[in-house]
Amino acid sequence: MSARWRYILQEAFVGLRRNLMMTVAVILSVTVSLTLLGASLLLSDQVELATDDWVGQVEVSIFLCDGRTCPEITDEQQQQLREDLEDQPVVAEVFFESKQDAYDRFVELFRDQPNLVESVDPDVLPASFRVRLENPQLFNVIAEQFEAYPGVEEIVDQRQVLDQFLRFTNVIRNAALIVAAIQLVAAGVLIANTIRVAAFARREQTSIMKLVGASNWYIRLPFVLEGVLAGVLGAFLSWGLLYASVPRVAAQLRRDIELMPFIDAAHVIAVGPWLLAAGVGIAAFSSVVALRRFLDV
């Protein structure tokens, strides 16, 4: 390493130690900001992962009349309905779910709510055909053709429930991104103030360097490096916090919710470079802006 770069690094570390309390405050601020940013990125990954899995499993439910709200479907009508569904080119698979099958699935889904299970019996739940489409967007093809079929009570597209969930998660994700952006701005202001104080404390030294012919960037570079080092440390701390917590939380949720795929440590690792880039970027930008305004050399 050349003497010039050795001096720049030495000055940067001296500056960090000299303003230790402000340096710690900067690192913690960057850590909080980037942790929120990383959490929002991981939430996006989780939503995308779950959506890809669920879209492949989206089904159209064709509920059959059982004599309560419309005439009960006959065996001949039920068989004809199945054959017509299977003949549709947009249909991938057709499953029949009897009243007892629907009840068994209901008991499995709500096994943790015994009071709810006890209030329902198999006769309350209608039999249905569950239709998986080649393309879930083609729901209207099925709805328009079969909603007037004899023995058909209702046709339900499960995408409606999925869309509601996605809208909810998008609100949470956008809110997290907004909070992270505000925190990043606050961290940038704190970095700029820290660099301003450091530059003011060494104003005589920088004036002498200018008199002996040092360039503006050579004088400014140690201060910029101070901010960048604080940003790098904050990025690694936020990365470590996410790596230590997110896989554990996902593993616990995976045990409790068996029907949903969850992100793992690989997703956290993939977020790391983005956090590092954000930490270095906000620190470098804030430092340069502070020096251009408060260090006129």
Given a cut of 80, is residue 117 above it in pLDDT? no
Q: CB within 8 A of 84, min separation 6: which ones?
A: 145, 146, 149
Confirm if 93 and 172 have CB atoms less than 8 A apart. no
The secondary element (H helix, E strand) that includes residue 128 is strand 128-133
Condensed to tens digits (0 to 9), the pLDDT of residues 237-259 reads: 999 999 999 999 888 887 777 66
Q: Where in the chain is the domain with CATH 3.30.70.3040?
A: 59-157
Under the banding of pLDDT at 50, 70 and 90, the label for residue 49 is confident
Helix (H, G, I), strand (E, B) or coil at 60: strand
> Which range, 9-23, 29-43, 187-201, is most confident?
29-43
Under the banding of pLDDT at 50, 70 and 90, the label for residue 102 is confident
Report the CATH number of the 59-157 domain.
3.30.70.3040
pLDDT of the residue at 297 = 46
Mean pLDDT across 38-44: 84
CA distances from 265 to 33, 41, 57, 201 (A): 20, 14, 25, 44
Nearest to 33 by CA among 249, 214, 189, 266: 189
Query: Any idea which of 10-24, 85-99, 135-149, 171-185 has the lowest mean pLDDT?
Result: 10-24
Condensed to tens digits (0 to 9), the pLDDT of residues 198-238 reads: 666 666 666 665 665 556 666 667 777 777 888 888 899 99
Top-confidence residue, 117 or 229: 229
Nearest to 142 by CA among 86, 74, 70: 86
Confirm if 202 and 220 have CB atoms less than 8 A apart. no
Condensed to tens digits (0 to 9), the pLDDT of residues 1-27 reads: 565 556 556 655 665 666 677 778 778
Q: Tell how many helices (H) and how many strands (E) occur in the chain.
A: 10, 4
Mean pLDDT across 132-150: 78
